[in-house]
C-alpha cells in the first residue's frame, strides 16, 4: 500500500504496491541504543518538529513531511500531489532550479522526495554543518517557488513519461490500478498516486498554485531531523528558517469519503505478454493503526508476519521449503495509513500450470489460521522478529527519521512510535485468531491474477 513515487532524478526502487516488495513499516523501540531522548515541539507558526539525536556518525538526515498526498486530491485532479513534488525541484524566487541538487551532490550528500497516498516528503542526508543551509533552502521552497505555465508544461511531459515507463511499462503496476478501485469503492485510495494519464494531461499552473497555497504551509508540515545534532541546535536553526514563514489557513480535519460495508468477493484478471509466470494476490480491507480498535493493527502485523512475513513464515516454510510449489509467496500489511488499509497474501507458482494448485494451498493456510489460530511459540517468535527488526533501524538515522515522519504524517505521535514494541508484546494468540476471523473473510476478498497473455482471462 505504500505506493511511493520518487522524483525521477533520484530514482530509487519503485515502491509500488508490488507482490514481491515489502517495506519494514513497524515502529521502532526508540529507547534502545540511544542516550538523548527524542524531542518533539511546535514552532509558533504551527510547524511540528521531531529531533532524534544520534552522535555515532557525523551525519544528519533532514526531512520535511507535508500532510498531503494523493488521497487528498480533488476528483478529476489525480496526480497533482506527485506533480507538485516534481515542481518543488524547480527554481524559487531566490534560488535557481538545480541549486539544491548541486549543493548536496558537491558535499557528498543525498537527497530525494516521495509522494504517497497520505503524505509528501522531502529529505537530504548531509554532514551536520550543512544542515542550516538545507533548512534555509527547504524553507525557501516551501513558500517561494516559481510556478508558471512554462515550468508546469515541461514537468507535465516528464511526469507523463514517468507514468508510461513506471506504470504502463509494468504489468504489475497496471494490475494494481485495477485492484485498488476494486478494493476501494468510495475512498480515494482507489486512485493511483501518480494519477490517471488523462488527468495528468490536464493539470495546469492554476491547479499547482492552488495546491501549493493550501498545503505547503508550516502548519501543515512536520520537520524531522535525525543524527548528529541536539534538540536545542535544531530548534534554533528551525526558528531562524522555517520559523520565519507565515502560517497558512487552518485546514479542516483530513476526512475522506469512507468505505461502505463490503459484501462481495471480487476478482481482477489481467493478461499481458510481458508476464512469464502467473501470480495472484488476495486483498482485504483492514483497519490501519489510526482507524483500528486498540491492538487490531498490531494483531494484523503479527498475522502478516506469522502467515507470510519472510523465511520463517508458514507460507514460506510450507510452500517454498517443504513442498516447493511456490516461486514466491507471502503476506503484507501496512498499518501506516491514515485510513482503512489492506492486508494482502500473494503467490506465484514454480511453473505456470501450478497457479490453481498454489492458490488452493494458500487459501488452505488462510483457512487454517482462521480455524486453529496460532501457537504460543510461533507468536512469541514472530514478536521477537518484529521487535528485533527495529534494531536495524537504530543504525540508520535516515531510517529513524522515516519512521517518525510516517507516524506523525498519519496521525500518530512520538509516544505511539515508542510504545509500539510493548503493544506488539501485548497481543495474544486469541487476538491474532479473532482478527484473522474478522478480516480475512473469503466472501469479502479481492483476488488479483496476473497471467501470461496465452491464458484466457475468464
Q: Any idea which residues carry the catalytic annotation?
A: 85
Cα–Cα nearest to 41, from 169, 215, 225: 225
CA separation for the pair 21, 19 (Å, rounded): 6
363 vs 419, which CB is nearer to a copy of itself? 363
Residue 190 binding a copy of itself, by CB under 8 A: yes
Between β-strands 110-115 and 39-42, what pairing exists: parallel, antiparallel or unpaired?
unpaired
Stretch that binds a copy of itself, among 38-46, 71-79, 109-117, 133-141 (CB under 8 A): 71-79
Which of residues 37, 46, 257, 310 is near a copy of itself by CB under 8 A? 257
233 vs 271, which CB is nearer to a copy of itself? 271
Q: Looking at residues 119 to 158 of the shown chain, list those that interact with a copy of itself (rule: CB under 8 A).
A: none
Instruction: Provide the 10 A C-beta neighbour count for residue 56.
Output: 12
Residue 338 CB, nearest approach to a copy of itself (Å): 15
Which of residues 199, 201, 239, 419 is near a copy of itself by CB under 8 A? 199
23 vs 196, which CB is nearer to a copy of itself? 196
Report the DSSP beta bridge partners of residue 49: 41, 223
Residue 347 binding a copy of itself, by CB under 8 A: no
Instruction: Name 11's Cβ contacts closer than 8 Å, sequence gap at least 6.
Output: none
What Rg value do the Cα atoms of the chain yield, rounded? 22
Q: Within 13 Å of residue 301, how many CA atoms lie on the same side as its CB?
A: 29
Q: Looking at residues 270 to 289 of the shown chain, list those that interact with a copy of itself (rule: CB under 8 A).
A: 270-271
The three-class DSSP label of residue 451 is strand
Residue 291 binding a copy of itself, by CB under 8 A: no
Residue 268 binding a copy of itself, by CB under 8 A: yes
Residue 55, phi-psi category: left (phi > 0), alpha (psi -120 to 50), beta (remainder): alpha
CA separation for the pair 43, 321 (Å, rounded): 54
199 vs 239, which CB is nearer to a copy of itself? 199
Residue 333 CB, nearest approach to a copy of itself (Å): 21
CB 131 within 8 A of CB 237: yes
Q: Looking at residues 356 to 385 of the shown chain, list those that interact with a copy of itself (rule: CB under 8 A).
A: 363
Residue 269 binding a copy of itself, by CB under 8 A: yes
Per this entry, what is the length of the chain? 458
Stretch that binds a copy of itself, among 81-89, 91-99, 182-190, 243-251 (CB under 8 A): 182-190
Cα–Cα nearest to 228, from 374, 94, 414, 34: 34
Which of residues 191, 313, 342, 410 is near a copy of itself by CB under 8 A? 191
Report the DSSP beta bridge partners of residue 343: 284, 333
Residue 335 CB, nearest approach to a copy of itself (Å): 22
Binding residues for a copy of itself, rule CB under 8 A, total 42
Residue 308 CB, nearest approach to a copy of itself (Å): 19
Instruction: Name 393's Cβ contacts closer than 8 Å, sequence gap at least 6.
Output: 24, 28, 399, 400, 403
Residue 423 binding a copy of itself, by CB under 8 A: no
CA separation for the pair 420, 427 (Å, rounded): 11
Residue 256 binding a copy of itself, by CB under 8 A: yes
Residue 188 binding a copy of itself, by CB under 8 A: yes
Any idea what the Cα angle at residue 291 is, between residues 289 and 297, rounded to 5°? 35
Residue 207 binding a copy of itself, by CB under 8 A: no
Residue 142 CB, nearest approach to a copy of itself (Å): 28
Cα–Cα nearest to 225, from 63, 412, 44, 104: 63
Residue 96 binding a copy of itself, by CB under 8 A: no
CB 237 within 8 A of CB 47: no
Which of residues 25, 29, 40, 78 is near a copy of itself by CB under 8 A? 78
Residue 442 CB, nearest approach to a copy of itself (Å): 5
Which of residues 250, 263, 353, 372 is near a copy of itself by CB under 8 A? 263
Q: Within 13 Å of residue 443, how many CA atoms lie on the same side as its CB?
A: 5
143 vs 361, which CB is nearer to a copy of itself? 361
Residues at the contact surface with a copy of itself, assessed by CB under 8 A: 75-76, 78, 174-175, 177-178, 181-182, 185-186, 188, 190-191, 196-199, 255-258, 260-271, 363, 442-443, 445, 447, 456-458
Amino acid at each position: 500500500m505504500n505506493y511511493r513515487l520518487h522524483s525521477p532524478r533520484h530514482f530509487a526502487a519503485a515502491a509500488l504496491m508490488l507482490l514481491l516488495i515489502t517495506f519494514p513499516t513497524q515502529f521502532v523501540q526508540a529507547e534502545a541504543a540511544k542516550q538523548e531522548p527524542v524531542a518533539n515541539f511546535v514552532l509558533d507558526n504551527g510547524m511540528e518538529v521531531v529531533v532524534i539525536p544520534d552522535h555515532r556518525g557525523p551525519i544528519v538526515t533532514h526531512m520535511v513531511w507535508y500532510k498531503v498526498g494523493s488521497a487528498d486530491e480533488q476528483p478529476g485532479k489525480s496526480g497533482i500531489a506527485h506533480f507538485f513534488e516534481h515542481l518543488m525541484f524547480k527554481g524559487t524566487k531566490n534560488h535557481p532550479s538545480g541549486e539544491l541538487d548541486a549543493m548536496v551532490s558537491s558535499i557528498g550528500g543525498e537527497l530525494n522526495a516521495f509522494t504517497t497516498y497520505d503524505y509528501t516528503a522531502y529529505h537530504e542526508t548531509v554532514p551536520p554543518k550543512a544542515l542550516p543551509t538545507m533548512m534555509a533552502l527547504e524553507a525557501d521552497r516551501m513558500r517561494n517557488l516559481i510556478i508558471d505555465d512554462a515550468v508546469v508544461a515541461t514537468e507535465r511531459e516528464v511526469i507523463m513519461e514517468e507514468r508510461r515507463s513506471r506504470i504502463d511499462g509494468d504489468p504489475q503496476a497496471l494490475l494494481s490500478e485495477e485492484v485498488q478501485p476494486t478494493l476501494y469503492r468510495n475512498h480515494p485510495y482507489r486512485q493511483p498516486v501518480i494519477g490517471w494519464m488523462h488527468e495528468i494531461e490536464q493539470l495546469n499552473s492554476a491547479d499547482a498554485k492552488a495546491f501549493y497555497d493550501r498545503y505547503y504551509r508550516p502548519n501543515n508540515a512536520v520537520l524531522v531531523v535525525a543524527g548528529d545534532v541536539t534538540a536545542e541546535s535544531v530548534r534554533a536553526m528551525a526558528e531562524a528558517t522555517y520559523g520565519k514563514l507565515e502560517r497558512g489557513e487552518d485546514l479542516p480535519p483530513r476526512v475522506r469519503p469512507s468505505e461502505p460495508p463490503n459484501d462481495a468477493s471480487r476478482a481482477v484478471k489481467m493478461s499481458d505478454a510481458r508476464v512469464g509466470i502467473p501470480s495472484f494476490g488476495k486483498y482485504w480491507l483492514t483497519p490501519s493503526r489510526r482507524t483500528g480498535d486498540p491492538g487490531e493493527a498490531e494483531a494484523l502485523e503479527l498475522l502478516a508476519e506469522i502467515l507470510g512475513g519472510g523465511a520463517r513464515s508458514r507460507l514460506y516454510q510450507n510452500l517454498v521449503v517443504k513442498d516447493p510449489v511456490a516461486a514466491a509467496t507471502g503476506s503484507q500489511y501496512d498499518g501506516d495509513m491514515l485510513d482503512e488499509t489492506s492486508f494482502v497474501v500473494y503467490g506465484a507458482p514454480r511453473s505456470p500450470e501450478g497457479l490453481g494448485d498454489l492458490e488452493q494451498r494458500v487459501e488452505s493456510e488462510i483457512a487454517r489460521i482462521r480455524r486453529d489460530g496460532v501457537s504460543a511459540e510461533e507468536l512469541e517468535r514472530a514478536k521477537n522478529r518484529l521487535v528485533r527488526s527495529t534494531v536495524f533501524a537504530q543504525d540508520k538515522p535516515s531510517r529513524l527519521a522515516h519512521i517518525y515522519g510516517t507516524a506523525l504524517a498519519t496521525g500518530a505521535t512520538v509516544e505511539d512510535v515508542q510504545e509500539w514494541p510493548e503493544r506488539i508484546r501485548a497481543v495474544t494468540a486469541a487476538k491474532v485468531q479473532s482478527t484473522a476471523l474478522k478480516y480475512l473473510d473469503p466472501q469479502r476478498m479481492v483476488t488479483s491474477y496476473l497471467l501470461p497473455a496465452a491464458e484466457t482471462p475468464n
